[in-house]
């Protein structure tokens, strides 16, 4: 037993700091608000560390459980817990929030308090998604994350920020409405419980499972996003400020993938097995087709945005192979993508702050002017291409092995991502960083300072740590994944 409500502290500490900044923040005291936001982000991250340190890797069920009455007439509880599936996303979310606060330190000069508060509040809400055991609490956190991200894109984004913000909001909101219907149906079938774990044993007909699968799929596939409901993501990434792109890629896309393993696989296991070929097909299309789309992009941010869609295709592919290696590989890919994609968007932001262009053709020879930055950029590019020794290799390799065990040709198709990712990533690196200096703007570039070096060093440390010693990250998830797959295998319609 733990005397402190660690999960509640992980959720509400950043939200409390965010609200405080909103209440006292003014343009005149922007420097103070930056420091207060940094303190709030660091404290929020430190609060999550005892959750990792106190986690029992041998247990498969929920740990650090908290429960309190919330909306009694409908038996809606404030109920929290983490298992091996959700554990790592709590500190990862808080860590990425520290990165985004530092990333916006000098770049954001208008409405600084609102900007910092939005990220802190968003951080707490996303942690809430990963910790919620009550389905309505999950839904509230899941939907509430739209508001701060909508503001981040709509206020501090690029020229088409309003269009991108509306598209992001409408796509994800409409998908979630079907999920709400599914939650209410499960509530009625379970005898009036919103506890997600109670729903794992609710008897459902084949028709009910198929319909519930479609409802959940609509919400989570859009959030990931899967092909063909992915079109909102490149627009959102291109228009979002650097911090918004980092959070969107590193954490928010994971909310949808997490929904698959928390809701879809255990609640509708028979429909999941029956419709697995559909999901696998869509995942392979994302890996191959979207990889080819990334190859022809002329905008660095769009290239990395499409790359994210392709890499997230590996996550859903791994989940629907129904093997320990595949599901663990999908989870590992989610965590790795948090480091690598966040670093890639941070690097693009570093260049954009200096050149005010994301067009690949406007660069060339950056290495000669920014050698320290180029070293980091090439490292993250290698991780994005799946180089062994980096985090980008581990999850992809686990999923490819799981796919080969299922079907050799499926594994071969999945493995094409290693070729495609190397193609579009290294081609971008070649044109941006190497070759002759092409224009006077590149000639005037200055290398990264201490603030940017710190951010990139932290992300590099995570990328290399994960790549060189993945066991530290995979051990806690094994028991929970094994329990999940045993439940899926045992549940069969008569």
**CA nearest neighbour of 222 among 159, 146, 277, 276:** 146
- Position 105 in a domain: yes
For residue 42, give both structure tokens.
């660091």
Residue 492 has pLDDT above 70, yes or no: no
Calpha distance 298→309 (Å, rounded) = 17
Residue 94 has pLDDT above 70, yes or no: yes
- Position 60 in a domain: yes
Higher pLDDT, 443 or 325: 325
pLDDT in tens, 212-222: 999 999 888 88
- Position 372 in a domain: no
**CA nearest neighbour of 158 among 101, 248, 238:** 238
**CA nearest neighbour of 51 among 77, 78, 13, 84:** 84
- Position 463 in a domain: no
pLDDT in tens, 402-452: 999 888 888 888 888 778 888 888 888 888 888 777 777 877 788 888 888
- Position 410 in a domain: no
**CA nearest neighbour of 116 among 240, 45, 14:** 14
- Position 225 in a domain: no
HEC assignment per residue over the chain: CCCCCHHHHHHHHHHHHHHHHHHHCCHHHHHHHHHHHHHHHHHHHHHHHHHHHCCCCCCCCCEEEEEEEEEHHHCEEEEEEECCCCCCHHHHHHHHHHHHHHHCCCCCCCCHHHHHHHHHHHHHHHHHHHHECEHHHHHHHHHHCHHHHHHHHHHHCCCCHHHHHHHHHHHHHHHHHHHHHHHHHHHHHCCCCCEHHHHCCCCCCHHHHHHHHHHHHHHHHHHCCCCCCCCHHHHHHHHCCHHHHHHHHHHHHHHHHHHHHHHHHHHCHHHHHHHHHHHHHHHHHHHHHHHHHHHCCCEHHHHHHHHHHHHHHHHHHHHCCCCHHHHHHHHHHHHHHHHHHHHHHHHHHHHHHHHCCCEHHHCCCHHHHCHHHHHHHHHHHHHHCCCCCCHHHHHHHHHHHHHHHHCHHHHHHHHHHHHHHHHHHHHHHHHHHCCCCCCHHHHCCCCCCHHHHHHHHHHHHHHHHHHHCCHHHHHHHHHHHHHHHHHHHHCCCC
pTM of this prediction exceeds 0.85: yes
Confidence band of 91 (pLDDT split at 50, 70, 90): very high
- Position 15 in a domain: yes
Calpha distance 462→443 (Å, rounded) = 32
Q: For residue 222, what are the CA distances in angstroms to 117, 269, 385?
A: 26, 21, 25
**Average of per-residue pLDDT across 295-323:** 87
Least confident of 57-71, 94-108, 162-176: 162-176
- Position 101 in a domain: yes
> What pLDDT score does 229 carry?
74
pLDDT in tens, 249-290: 888 888 989 999 999 999 999 998 889 899 999 888 888 888
Confidence band of 1 (pLDDT split at 50, 70, 90): very low
Residue 4 has pLDDT above 50, yes or no: yes
Number of domains in the chain: 1
> What pLDDT score does 493 carry?
52
pLDDT in tens, 42-57: 999 999 999 998 888 8
Query: Domain span at residue 80?
Result: 1-144
């Amino acid at each position: 037993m733990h005397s402190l409500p660690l999960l509640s502290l992980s959720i509400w500490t950043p939200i409390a700091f965010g609200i405080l900044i909103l209440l006292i923040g003014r343009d005149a005291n922007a420097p103070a608000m930056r420091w207060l936001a940094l303190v709030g982000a660091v404290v929020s991250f430190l609060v999550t560390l005892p959750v990792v340190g106190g986690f029992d890797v041998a247990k498969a069920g929920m740990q650090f459980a908290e429960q309190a009455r919330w909306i009694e007439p409908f038996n809606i509880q404030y109920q929290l817990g983490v298992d091996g599936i959700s554990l790592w996303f709590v500190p990862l979310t808080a860590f990425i929030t520290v990165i985004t606060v530092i990333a916006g330190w000098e770049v954001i000069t208008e409405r600084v308090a609102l900007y910092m508060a939005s990220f802190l509040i968003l951080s707490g809400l996303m942690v809430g998604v990963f910790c919620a055991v009550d389905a309505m609490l999950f839904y509230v956190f899941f939907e509430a994350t739209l508001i701060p991200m909508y503001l981040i894109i709509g206020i501090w984004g690029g020229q088409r920020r309003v269009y991108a913000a509306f598209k992001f909001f409408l796509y994800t909101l409409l998908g979630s409405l079907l999920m709400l219907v599914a939650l209410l149906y499960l509530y009625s079938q379970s005898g009036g419980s919103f506890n997600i774990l109670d729903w794992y044993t609710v008897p459902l007909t084949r028709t009910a499972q198929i319909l519930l699968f479609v409802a959940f799929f609509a919400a989570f596939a859009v959030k990931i996003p899967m092909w063909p409901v992915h079109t909102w993501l490149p627009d959102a990434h291109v228009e979002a400020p650097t911090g918004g792109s980092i959070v969107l890629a590193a954490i928010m896309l994971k909310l949808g993938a997490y929904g698959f393993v928390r809701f879809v696989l255990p609640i509708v296991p028979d429909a999941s097995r029956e419709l697995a070929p559909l999901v696998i097909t869509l995942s392979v299309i994302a890996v191959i087709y979207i990889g080819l789309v990334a190859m022809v992009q002329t905008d660095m941010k769009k290239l990395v945005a499409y790359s994210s869609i392709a890499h997230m295709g590996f996550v859903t592919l791994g989940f629907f192979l129904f093997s320990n290696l595949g599901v663990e590989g999908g989870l590992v890919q989610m965590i790795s993508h948090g480091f690598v994609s966040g670093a890639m968007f941070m690097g693009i932001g570093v260049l954009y702050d200096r050149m005010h262009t994301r067009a690949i053709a406007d660069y060339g020879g950056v290495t000669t002017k920014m050698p320290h930055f180029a070293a980091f950029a090439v490292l993250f590019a290698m991780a994005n291409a799946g180089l062994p020794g980096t985090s980008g290799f581990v999850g992809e390799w686990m999923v490819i092995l799981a796919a080969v065990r299922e079907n050799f040709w499926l594994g071969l198709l999945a493995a094409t991502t290693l070729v495609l990712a190397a193609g579009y990533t290294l081609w971008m690196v070649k044109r941006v960083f190497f070759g002759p200096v092409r224009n006077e703007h590149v000639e005037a570039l200055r290398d990264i300072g201490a603030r940017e070096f710190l951010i990139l060093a932290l992300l590099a440390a995570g990328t290399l740590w994960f790549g060189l010693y993945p066991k530290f990250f995979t051990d806690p998830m094994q028991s929970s994944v094994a329990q999940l797959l045993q439940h899926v295998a045992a549940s069969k319609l008569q």
